[in-house]
Amino acid sequence: MTVAGRRRARVPLVAALVAASLGLGAGPVGVTVPVPVDGTDPQLAADLEGVIATSPEDTCLAVSIDGVEVFAHRGDDLQVPASNEKLLTAAASLALLDADAGYETRLVTSAPVVDGVVRGDVVLVGSGDPSLDTAFTRAVRQVPAARPSTLLDGLADQLEEAGIRRIDGRVLGDEARYDDLRVVPSWPARHAAENQSGPLSALALDDGIEIELVDGELRRVRADDPPLGAVRALSGALFARGIALGGEPSVGRAPEGAAELAVVTSPPRHELVADMLRRSDNQAAELMLKELGVAQGEGGSTAGGARVVASWAAEAGVAGPGSVVADGSGLDTGNQVTCRELVGVIDAAGGAGSTLDASLAVAGESGTLSARFTTTDAVGVLRGKTGSLNAVTSLAGLVTLPDGGTATFAYIVNGAPPTAEVMRAQDFLAQVLASYRPPCPDGDPEPFVGPAGAELARVGGLAAAPLAAALPGVVAAMDVLEAEADAVVDRCSAGPSPVLAPIAPDH
């Protein structure tokens, strides 16, 4: 375990207990507290040790502040990260691909176009766009308007505007940009049955989910043939605009040198990465992994993309010893990362203020963290990525500290289900970091006397229970002294640093 940083001035616990035992009701109590200068921060270490103490045995935790590691517990132990694997997929995508460019889904033909008639087949060429959608399915699925999408309907609109009245041939779907494996081969079969990810294809519409009329009701079903489903949807859109078709929709390859008839472009890649992270979209993550493989010459496969991500992490100097990239989403239990690696990935991507940072869910506000940490100081200042499998719980991200600095952290539990106790430990960690206030770089050069009294500091069950059991009636008085002394002693801070308050899970 490593601990570094600078110690926050705080009234020693023993002094607080002595003062409390003497009684605080008669008036303020003065305590002389020297403020240490540069060195380790035992208070931060103790708080983070508390997180570990309330976590299952197979837990790793790493924390850096402004790029410098300040704490690590089993930081180099290999762990299954669950959806925290998406951080590697996202960081590599933003680093190696054009974050401002969109995916282009094109409709092409090699046939002549004469008097508004295409004298042959047209081919819908998939680009791997994870946001390809239709207005109909968005309405049926009640997709929020803010979620980025590329409407396939736009291709039909463009043909109508160009005066196309008929296609003599068929509408074909081309998914050749990626391989045709619908799932990652090493995934358990239940992932498909549970729709943990839609079927994978370079031409997948609506997350690989189709809307069917079953017994008079519209139902969502997993697409058996994503590219065929996409061209059927496009054929319907063309028919609705009065464009006649000469053949049945099918699949095929675009001829070399085919002319472009229409194109729809997705929102910028960084918006799609943000949507993938905030919603923890497994299918989108897997498609992004395959796109990395194509872009870097490794082929549009899971294995090709995995090689690219592993290479990027190694070249960035953040790959953990023995780490393994098995997929892009974290559904595969063959993924192996370390807590230090995840912290390194976030920092290597630019840390605070980076595109990756802006792509993360925000505590109490958005994505998978919208209902998390709502009773802690982490609301609005913790940005992160959650993860869970049957025996895995993970959380990694960044926290803006009260003094304006940034803590980057990674916390992974293996070998235990995501129980309320594990969630409570995450809440504990979020509160520790969100309320941490380092002292000035050089510390306060002179000790001084600080009065105790005024408002009660917050304290939670984990912090108070052991003391209450040992010294009944003392805890509340101790909290008063500690909170007020903190406020006075740490003259370099903008305000008092609140007493740690582990809080029961709020979900």
**Over 60: is that where the pLDDT of 475 sits?**
no
Nearest to 394 by CA among 367, 417, 362: 417
Phi-psi region of 5 (alpha: psi -120 to 50; beta: other; left: phi over 0): left
**Over 60: is that where the pLDDT of 27 sits?**
no
Q: How far is residue 364 from each of residues 27, 146, 279, 501, measured CA to CA in Å?
A: 40, 18, 14, 17
Average pLDDT rounded to a whole number, residues 429-451: 68
Q: Using CA atoms, how far apart are residues 377 and 462, in angstroms rounded to an integer?
A: 17
Answer yes or no: are the C-beta atoms of 461 and 428 closer than 8 Å.
no
Nearest to 401 by CA among 6, 5, 69, 66: 66
- Helix ranges (H only) for 61-148 are 85-96, 135-141
Taking the domain 104-267, which CATH number applies? 3.50.80.20
**Over 90: is that where the pLDDT of 22 sits?**
no
Please report, for the chain, how many H helices and E strands are present, in that order. Answer: 15, 22
Burial category of 281 from C-beta neighbours within 10 Å (exposed 0-12, middle 13-18, buried 19 and up):
buried
CATH ID of 58-100+269-437, from 3.10.105.10, 3.40.710.10, 3.20.20.190, 3.40.190.10: 3.40.710.10
- Average pLDDT of the chain is 84
Domain boundaries of the chain, sorted by first residue: 1-41+441-507, 58-100+269-437, 104-267
Q: Tell me: the pLDDT tens digits for 228-247?
A: 999 999 999 999 999 999 99
Range with top average pLDDT, 74-88, 130-144, 198-212, 483-497? 74-88
- Residue 122 tokens read as 């047209």
- Residue 102 tokens read as 């969109």
- Residue 251: enclosing H or E segment and its boundaries? strand 250-251
Lowest mean pLDDT across 26-30, 176-180, 500-504: 26-30
Sign of the CA dihedral with 461 first, then 465, 467, and 473 last: positive
Share of the chain above pLDDT 90, in %: 70
- Residue 80 tokens read as 């299954």
- Residue 446 tokens read as 């002179």
Euclidean distance between the first and the last CA atom of the chain, given in angstroms as a whole number: 31
Q: Using CA atoms, how far apart are residues 110 and 123, in angstroms rounded to an integer?
A: 9
Q: Using CA atoms, how far apart are residues 92 and 269, in angstroms rounded to an integer?
A: 12
Burial 100-112 (b: 16+ CB within 10 A, else e): eebbebbbbbebe
Predicted local confidence at residue 192, as pLDDT? 83
**Over 70: is that where the pLDDT of 320 sits?**
yes
Q: Tell me: the pLDDT tens digits for 279-315?
A: 999 999 999 999 999 999 999 999 999 999 999 999 9
- Residue 499 tokens read as 């007493």
> To 10 degrees, the CA torsion angle through 122, 125, 126, 127?
-150
- Residue 39 tokens read as 């060195």
Q: How confident is the model at residue 461 (pLDDT cuts 50, 70, 90)?
A: very low
Nearest to 180 by CA among 290, 90, 85: 290
Predicted local confidence at residue 229, as pLDDT? 95
Burial category of 349 from C-beta neighbours within 10 Å (exposed 0-12, middle 13-18, buried 19 and up):
buried
Q: How confident is the model at residue 440 (pLDDT cuts 50, 70, 90)?
A: low
Predicted local confidence at residue 442, as pLDDT? 59
Pairing label, strands 171-174, 250-251: parallel
SS3 469: helix
Predicted local confidence at residue 496, as pLDDT? 38
